[in-house]
Amino acid sequence: MTAAAARPAPSADAPVCVLGLGLIGGSLLRVLHDAGRSAFGYNRSAETVSAATSDGYRASTDLVATLRQASADEAIVVLATPVTTIDDLLPSIAEHAANCLLTDVISVKQAVAESVTRLAPGVRYVGGHPMAGTSRSGWAATDPELFRDAMWMVTTEDHTDPDDWLAISTLARTAGAFVVPAAAGAHDRAVAAISHLPHLTAAATAAVGAGESDLALRLAAGSFRDGTRVAGTAPALQRAMLEANGIALLNVLSETIDRLIAARDELREKGSVEIVVDDGHRARSAYEAIAGAGPAPITGVAIGQDGWAQELRRQAHQARVWLG
Amino acid sequence: MTAAAARPAPSADAPVCVLGLGLIGGSLLRVLHDAGRSAFGYNRSAETVSAATSDGYRASTDLVATLRQASADEAIVVLATPVTTIDDLLPSIAEHAANCLLTDVISVKQAVAESVTRLAPGVRYVGGHPMAGTSRSGWAATDPELFRDAMWMVTTEDHTDPDDWLAISTLARTAGAFVVPAAAGAHDRAVAAISHLPHLTAAATAAVGAGESDLALRLAAGSFRDGTRVAGTAPALQRAMLEANGIALLNVLSETIDRLIAARDELREKGSVEIVVDDGHRARSAYEAIAGAGPAPITGVAIGQDGWAQELRRQAHQARVWLG
């Protein structure tokens, strides 16, 4: 039991302090502010802060002052900077805002949880990951509607404090998202497969196409355009995201290579692509069934009751979402 | 010199007979008819013909009668059935409409040209391939705007008859497309890279995602949705298209596997995805530059002048298009 655990959980309308005002953090600041919630942000770039301020939002380039304000307000602090920067920020959070509940919007959860434990050990933390984004970045790309009907994963471990979990999940709901409860490890394996792997297959596909000829790029239509879209994301952002989830990504990348080698063997030996095409079509249909049906709600769980976290995870594994 | 070569080329407003009224053929029938050109079609399914007829188009389930009409009208005949069916249709074309100029809209060009040479040796033929489509199929999916601003590859060999080439290229322009001249082999290599390969990488990516968990599919967002879209195309259509271009597809599939294996090695040994991400980003940027700039026109070539085909191909390799 740490000292922090004894502190009261933030209320459902606690102020929110967003560190990092890029696509995700900036969009979050905007939607919370627009929803009438007290929200303010920090960004190291004066240009970004100036853009946010002139759009009517509270923002500062002064990290310490921002964290002291968060502490005074008992705000929820949201880490929304690239994963490569959090080890620099966490000691400041521990120093200036240790009483705040901390969450994040980073696409990998085990690595962030380990950093928090190591660098801000007294700080209460519940991880988060909104499944939203575009290949654009920066304040100019922010959109208060970015999270509308998106899936927002909230880390749900057996030891997660139920009041803290509710505070973060309510934040996600205020942003317009559905809450998907998961353990950090299960989350990291899932996003390796459906978010990080597609970056690598898109990159390889794009490189092969461009390596063929300009004629090929001239002929490229929908399948190339859509299939390589995420390769257009800023390389530094892609690298930070993918490399932070290296072990899970290695596993799904290896499986992908195995499937493509099997496809090559089938094509070379039998002139057929039956297995890979059928498997892919079945998988895509399963995805469309889940994405198209709209989210079925998690039911019959009171947050904090015995086994609540386990039950939330069990229902989430059936593709259900928490609606509060 | 065959007897057919002595026949006059069709005029720019020659009637058009479309064999196969699926997404591509049906959309072509519609756009030509709507543009005021005489156009009629054949489909083996009474349901499709009935749908086309009740939408106000001329269509029949009687192949021989349709081809005899084409012959009497000196129509351009367009093969728009799956590649797997053309060996059954070509003898009928040779028998009933040998005087007609033949083209096709099939996604592979060498295999079709070989079939034509073998099964309809007296028939003039200039291949075509509109780069347009969706994952939907059938008459209900047809759209006269399908080819608007799309790239339409027209086979351009040293031995291609310039009048026949002009007739087919004018047809593509009437449908709203830009004409991309290419030799059959170069076309097949190009579409293997930018159209057929993306089906295999999408299929493998979808299968790995769906194999992870329903939680993964629930969390799937833009990168998975866009990156696996073409895996949703009807498997029989995908197989027909990909297997007809097997050799070119094998080459680009092998290169893709090599790139992903190199990415796995880099990730495993250095924890980095720098090379694959940078290569992919550079390739995607090259694609966006070409796709985004709008088509630069091929200039300074009179169709039929000495070396016209070679000059068209040379300019097309710089991503230029023929606008007539």
pLDDT at B283 exceeding the cut of 80: yes
- The CATH code that applies to domain B15-184+294-316 is 3.40.50.720
Instruction: Report the sign of the C-alpha dihedral through residues B8, B13, B17, B18, in that order.
Output: positive
Burial class (CB in 10 A: 0-12, 13-18, 19+), A238: buried
Q: In this structure, what token pair is assigned to residue B271?
A: 């924890």
The arithmetic mean of pLDDT across residues B58-85, rounded, is 96
Per-residue pLDDT at A225: 94
Q: For residue A241, what is the nearest residue in chain B, using CA coordinates? A: B273
Task: Check CB contact under 8 Å for B291 and A217.
Answer: yes
Per-residue pLDDT at B159: 96
Distance CA B322, CA B312 (A): 8
What letter would DSSP give residue B195?
A: I
Q: How far is A316 from chain B (nearest CA, A)?
A: 6
Residues of chain B with Cβ-Cβ distance to A201 below 8 Å are 201-202, 204-205, 227, 260
Task: Check CB contact under 8 Å for B264 and A276.
Answer: no
Three-class DSSP labels, B264-294: HHHHHHHCCCHHHHHHHHHHHHHHHHHHHCC
Tell me the C-alpha to C-alpha distance, in Å, between residue A251 and each of B204, B223, B264. Answer: 14, 19, 9
Q: For residue B295, what is the nearest residue in chain A, using CA coordinates? A: A218
Distance CA A213, CA B238 (A): 23
Helices (H), B9-109: 23-34, 46-54, 63-73, 86-96
Task: Check CB contact under 8 Å for B220 and A182.
Answer: no
Q: How far is A54 from chain B (nearest CA, A)?
A: 30
The arithmetic mean of pLDDT across residues B73-91, rounded, is 95
Find out whether A27 and A147 touch, Cβ atoms under 8 Å. yes
Residues of chain B with Cβ-Cβ distance to A198 below 8 Å are 205, 223-224, 227-228
CATH class of the structural domain A15-183+294-316: alpha beta
Backbone dihedral angles phi then psi of residue A215, each to the nearest 5 degrees = -55, -45
Distance CA B45, CA B136 (A): 17
pLDDT at B7 exceeding the cut of 90: no
Per-residue pLDDT at B9: 61
Question: Which of B219, B266, B274 should one mutate to test binding to chain A, selecting the residue with the greatest count of A CBs within 10 A?
Answer: B219
Burial class (CB in 10 A: 0-12, 13-18, 19+), B143: middle
**ipTM for the assembly:** 0.90
Task: Check CB contact under 8 Å for A287 and B198.
Answer: no
Find out whether B43 and B61 touch, Cβ atoms under 8 Å. yes
Helices (H), chain A: 23-34, 46-54, 63-73, 86-96, 110-119, 162-174, 184-191, 197-212, 214-219, 222-227, 235-243, 246-270, 274-292, 308-316
pLDDT at B2 exceeding the cut of 70: no
Distance CA B278, CA B261 (A): 16
Backbone dihedral angles phi then psi of residue A233, each to the nearest 5 degrees = -65, 145
Residue B272: pLDDT band by 50, 70, 90 thresholds?
very high
Closest partner CB to A208 (pick from B229, B255, B271): B255
Short-list A181, A174, A177, CA closest to A153: A181
Domain segments of chain A as ranges: 15-183+294-316, 188-292
CATH topology of domain B188-292: 6-phosphogluconate dehydrogenase C-terminal fold (1.10.3660)
Distance CA A30, CA A58 (A): 10
Q: How far is B184 from chain A (nearest CA, A)?
A: 12
Q: How far is A208 from chain B (nearest CA, A)?
A: 6
Number of residues assigned to chain B: 324
Distance CA A192, CA B168 (A): 47
> What one-letter code names the amino acid at A245?
N
Task: Check CB contact under 8 Å for A277 and B132.
Answer: no
- For tokens 């293997």, name the residue: B192
Q: How far is A98 from chain B (nearest CA, A)?
A: 31
Task: Check CB contact under 8 Å for A204 and B201.
Answer: yes
Closest partner CB to B207 (pick from A153, A259, A318): A259
Q: Compute and round to an integer the Cα radius of gyration of chain A.
A: 21
- For tokens 């299939």, name the residue: A227
Q: For residue A287, what is the nearest residue in chain B, using CA coordinates? A: B217
Distance CA A281, CA B233 (A): 7
Q: What percentage of chain B reaches a pLDDT higher than 90?
A: 89
Rounded to the nearest angstrom, the gap between the alpha carbon of residue A102 and the centroid of all alpha carbons in its chain is: 15
Distance CA A232, CA B282 (A): 8
Distance CA A135, CA B127 (A): 37
B234-265 pLDDT, tens per residue?
A: 999 899 999 999 999 999 999 999 999 999 99
Strand-pairing partners, residue B130, are B152
Residues of chain A with Cβ-Cβ distance to B200 below 8 Å are 260, 263, 273, 276-277, 280
Least confident of A109-118, B9-18, B36-45, B205-214: B9-18
- Mark the ranges of chain A whose per-residue pLDDT is less than 50: 1-6
Q: In this structure, what token pair is assigned to residue B324?
A: 């007539």
Closest partner CB to A264 (pick from B228, B250, B283): B250
Per-residue pLDDT at B4: 44
Residues of chain A with Cβ-Cβ distance to B263 below 8 Å are 200, 203-204, 253
Distance CA A298, CA A324 (A): 9
Q: How far is A138 from chain B (nearest CA, A)?
A: 18
Residues of chain B with Cβ-Cβ distance to A250 below 8 Å are 264, 267-268
What letter would DSSP give residue A139?
A: G
Task: Check CB contact under 8 Å for A180 and B219.
Answer: yes
Packing angle, helices B86-96 and B63-73, rounded to 10 = 50
The arithmetic mean of pLDDT across residues B8-25, rounded, is 87
Task: Check CB contact under 8 Å for B150 and A242.
Answer: no
Per-residue pLDDT at A232: 94
Distance CA A249, CA A110 (A): 13
